[in-house]
Chain A
């Protein structure tokens, strides 16, 4: 049972344009969401997070939107840069848990110069 889903395994975007990465979840007990970026042969790097009491969080070029009614979140990267090319994972934490992360399957973003 995949509780966090990233339905697009890959995405290609032109440099300077917007990248939109999507994530859906099924468990309404998730109360905190995170996005990580992962390069090959490295551990995931934390990018941005959002609490379930908010619908938007922005940090520089990265903005995360949360739609609780749709159980959907998205990561916007504007403008996209070639260095953003990586695998992006969304992850979620359950209310009252020991704060373990449940990860989606990841989306490979390729930013074309």
Chain B
């Protein structure tokens, strides 16, 4: 499976500011996703990061609040904009597939970014 790293691993931010989270994979992958796990809850998909085009957002999530970039097959960023305490969560990226286009149904997750908004 791919090795996935995220930066930062954690951060404490002030209300109204923005934070960009980076996800780096050690091999090319076809699909990258961003999830959120709010305290005491399950994982919820935010969006699918599409290489070279706009991300595909799930219901309840919008680009202005969670802009996503994916400039290549190994890297993606998620920005949490104009943060409020309700954005305090663990943010996780996940990957699937490989650069040859072979699609698998198993997603592998990064270690997560724990965000606290004061």
A residues within 8 Å of B by Cβ? 32, 34, 36, 41-46, 49, 51, 89, 91, 93, 98-106
Asked whether A89 and B56 contact (CB < 8 A) given A42-B111, A49-B105, A99-B96, the answer is no
Given contacts A34-B106, A99-B107, A101-B43, 19 further A-B pairs with CB under 8 A are A34-B105, A43-B94, A44-B43, A44-B92, A44-B109, A45-B109, A46-B106, A46-B109, A89-B43, A93-B105, A98-B31, A99-B103, A100-B33, A100-B48, A101-B35, A101-B94, A101-B107, A102-B45, A105-B42
Please, which residues of chain B bring their CB within 8 A of the CB of A46?
1, 106-109
* Cross-interface CB contact of B109 among A43, A51, A100, A104, cutoff 8 Å: A43
Per-residue 0/1 for B74-99: is the Cβ within 8 Å of any A Cβ (1 yes, 0 no)? 00000000000000000010101000
A-B contact count, CB below 8 Å?
58
Q: Kindly provide the distance from the CB of B50 to the nearest chain A CB, expressed in whole angstroms.
A: 9
Question: Mostly helix, strand, loop or mixed at chain B's interface?
Answer: strand
Verify B112–A89 contact, CB threshold 8 A. no
Per-residue 0/1 for B37-48: is the Cβ within 8 Å of any A Cβ (1 yes, 0 no)? 000011111001
Please, which residues of chain A bring their CB within 8 A of the CB of B48?
98, 100
